[in-house]
Amino acid sequence: MARWVKVAAAQMGPINEGTGRDEVVERMLALLERAIADGVELIAYPEMALTTYFPKRIREDYEQFFETEVPPKALEPLLRRAREAGVAVHVGFCEKDGGRHFNTAILTDESGALVGKYRKIHLPGRPSPDGYAQVYEVRYFETGDTGYRVFPTRTARVGIAICQDRRYPESYRCLGLGGADIILIGYNTPLSPLALDQNELVLRAGAYENSLFVVGVAKAGVEDGLELIGGSCIAGPLGQVLAKAATTGDELVAARIDLDWMTPARKRWDFFSRRHPQHYTAITQPIKPS
């Protein structure tokens, strides 16, 4: 019996510095209304969806970009409308918890209940310029402490990763082993040679290697002078692209998926039970500081 779910990546165009959260949420609401009209049951917004992607430069006035409430108070109109329509919502934002700072994403279910929070584990960049770093997230955020968890909604079991996490196969594997049907990944990624190709590569590989669905959702376009890639897409359990963004602006990328598509993929490849973790100890050894 088919288990159909309508999912959507709510890609957002640039949020330039000085844009108020109320204006941003109005844009998010517009995307949600399109999703509701299209029958979407699960919608994902990008990493740091409420603000500009401030770690693209070194600065001292970064506290203004952090939220001290979970869910953020600014999201109340969005989450209320989603609750009324029975839509599950994923949103990324900057979280301040006491004196600690995290790159965070939340998930609410179709009833509007907060069912999950994830704090980004893999932080990109360096604390200061080194000729290679494009961003400086390690300067502003702590490594996430939630671990990889899978959260239930009415229609699917959902895992969350954020941006740089998508470049680590361990992220997908941990969530797959945790029972995820769908993994949601918001990102803000500066343009560079092959950046779009690499983005699609890792999203599709994560979906294929774990026989599940991956929804990648970008904040895109030229933001405060820095061009961010788009490429939001929905990948299926055979690594196929089911839907993909055509712009670098606000755009709804939706697909109707059948969770039972995972079954033949898992029966054929059986990636989980055919593992040999006794030979993988090298990947769990402590790292040496670089």
Strand runs (DSSP E) across the chain, as ranges? 4-11, 42-44, 88-97, 100-108, 114-119, 150-152, 157-162, 182-188, 213-219, 221-223, 226-228, 233-235, 241-244, 251-258
Q: Which of 120, 219, 223, 233 is catalytic?
A: 120
Residue written as token pair 């969806």 = 49
Instruction: Say how many C-beta atoms besides its own lie within 10 A of residue 146's C-beta.
Output: 15
Distance CA 228, CA 58 (A): 17
6 is catalytic: no
163 is catalytic: yes
CA 126 to chain centroid, in Å, comes to: 22
Q: Which of 94, 163, 174, 233 is catalytic?
A: 163
The DSSP call for residue 65 is: G
Q: Which of 41, 47, 95, 137 is catalytic?
A: 47
Length of the chain: 290
60 is catalytic: no
Decide the pairing of beta strands 114-119 and 150-152. Answer: unpaired
Q: Which residue numbers are catalytic?
A: 47, 120, 163
